[in-house]
Every structure is written in structure tokens, then in C-alpha cells.
Amino acid sequence: MSNTTKPLLNRYQTFNFGHTRPVIKGNVDVSHGTVLYMEDVSVSFDGFKALNNLSLYINDGELRCLIGPNGAGKTTLMDVITGKTQADSGSVYFGQTIDLQQMDEAAIAQAGICRKFQKPSVFEKLTVFENLELSLKADKGAWVTLFATLNGEQRDRIDEVLEIIGMTSLRFQLAGILSHGQKQWLEIGMLLMQDPRVMLVDEPVAGMTHQEIDRTAELLLSLQGKHSVVVVEHDMEFVRSIADKVTVLHEGSVLMEGTMDEVQNDPRVIQVYLGE
Ligand code: ADP
Ligand code: MG
């Protein structure tokens, strides 16, 4: 379990020692309805274009699904948005005015763009409640301490998030004994504690039972309007159950966008998936 605690601790450290100037939360200019802009973005690895003049726009509050065969560039796309990878060319903006390419990973996270990796990373020896509590404190930039008392507002927020992730009755459960699905929801809850404007979620239902998948669909759908969520997922049935608009990536570019029906009946998309 020790390997699950590490990434989060690192995250706390970067919150405190990030080098770029923080963007004040809530200062995202979405007056044109778009929360995330990627324009003509290219990324090369040793001459190979993982992203090739990619343009993508995410509306404020929308739930977008991103699909595409292996190697299409989905992970690289998330890496560019979160500042893990620098684009060679193109622009990446958070709202109208915030240039994400001028910010480091910690500053981007602090500004309200967070990412859920495929594997859940929760503190197994802490309870569900304590895991949420820690996320809240990390967000405040305070030194991590479980012993500082929560104020009423903070308690309310934890209760609210417990409700959203459907884990109110599990609040005193140790995270280590949760099911895989429950750990994933808890981690989504931990991200929600930071009240992100944008959440990037990588293959949330991999390894889940059917029941857990349905519950995850409900959970992600319930975030619409409050958070913009970009979901990368291979499970097409799941994508169908949550998708409004689906973006298909292929060879580092957007092949097409549309409803799940439009996408699944598009000859180019069929060809790309058959060729996998
Ligand atoms: P996806 O997530 O859609 O499967 P990726 O974004 O992971 O695709 O990868 C896109 C392409 O870029 C792949 O061909 C992959 O091998 C390559 N790639 C990704 N990251 C690196 C890297 N750090 N070094 C070299 N090649 C990479
Ligand atoms: Mg990937």
C-alpha cells in the first residue's frame, strides 16, 4: 500500500512550492461558453507526431467522451492540458485568458484542472472521511495535518461530496478495504473536494463490475453543469450511457465529433477501429 500514498504527498508538496504564479480560482473567463481551448497543438516524440495539429474545444460544464484506438494520442492530450508534456506548437487555454503553456503542473492543478489517473490512489490506512479531509486541506495550501479542526463549512462540503459519490454510509470505513469501484469513487470525491473547474478522467470503469459501471455513469452525469469532465474510455457501452458529444481521436488529430450514434455509424471511425 505504501506505493499508493506517494503521489498524493508529492502533490501536496508541489502545491506549496509551485514556481509559477497561482491563478486565483474562479477567475476563468468562460464568457464564450468554452472552458478549454486546444488549437493546432502538435507534440512530437523523436519525430513521431503523437498530436498532430489537434484542435479541441470543451464547453463549460459539459461531459465529453474521448475515444480512439491505442496510440491515437489520448493520454498525450491529457498530458498537454495538465502541463506534464510541453506542446511543440499550438495553444492551450483555460477559458479565454489563461495560457496553460505558461504554467507548470502544480499551478495548473491549483487553477482548477485536475486529473484522475486510471489506478486509484487513496490513503488506505485512513477512513473515507479522512481521505476527503486531507484533499480539502491540500487545496488550502496548508501543511498536511489531520489534527487541525474542520470548520462547519468544511464539514458540510465533505458531507456534500460523500453524498455525491454515494458513500455517506461508508464514511468511517478504512479506504484499504473498499472495493475497487468504491476506491475509484472516493478518488473522484477527493478531486471534487478541490472543486475543480475541469476534471480529466482516464478509463474510470476499467476493472469495475457492471453495477459499479452503472453507478460511475450516474456519478459522472451528476457532475454535468458544475464541472467540465473529459472522460477517456474504451468501454463503448459505458460511453454510450454517458455521452452527449463524443470526440474520436486518430493519429494525433480529431477524426470526428458527434453523438455516439453518429460516431459509431461513421465509415471513417469504423475503418480506424477495424484496423486496430
Ligand atoms: P493513447 O493514449 O491514445 O493510446 P498516447 O497518447 O499514449 O496514445 O500515445 C500516442 C503515441 O505517442 C503513441 O504512438 C505512443 O507510442 C507515443 N508516445 C507517447 N508518449 C511517448 C513518449 N514519452 N515517448 C515516445 N513516444 C511516446
Ligand atoms: Mg492512453
Model pTM? 0.87
Return the biggest CA–CA distance within the chain.
58
Cell of 216: 460511475
Residue 165 CA: distances (Å) to CA of 71, 120, 128, 170: 32, 14, 11, 11
Query: Each residue's pLDDT tens digit in the chain (276 positions)?
Result: 344 333 333 333 333 333 444 555 568 999 999 999 999 999 999 999 999 999 999 999 999 999 999 999 999 999 999 999 999 999 999 999 999 999 999 999 999 999 998 888 899 999 999 999 988 876 555 455 555 678 888 899 999 999 999 999 999 999 999 999 999 999 999 999 989 999 999 999 999 999 999 999 999 999 999 999 999 998 999 999 999 999 999 999 999 999 999 999 999 999 988 776
- The Cβ of residue 50 has, within 10 Å, a number of other Cβ atoms equal to 22
> Domain span at residue 97?
2-274
Q: Is 228 in the pocket of ligand 1 (CB under 6 A)?
A: no
Q: Is 197 in the pocket of ligand 1 (CB under 6 A)?
A: no
What's 140's domain CATH number?
3.40.50.300
Q: Whose CA is nearest to atom 18 of ligand 1?
A: 50
Distance from the alpha carbon of residue 218 to the mean position of ligand 1, in angstroms: 30
- Specify the number of domains making up the chain: 1
Q: Whose CA is nearest to atom 5 of ligand 1?
A: 73
Q: Is 74 in the pocket of ligand 1 (CB under 6 A)?
A: yes
Distance from the alpha carbon of residue 215 to the mean position of ligand 2, in angstroms: 23
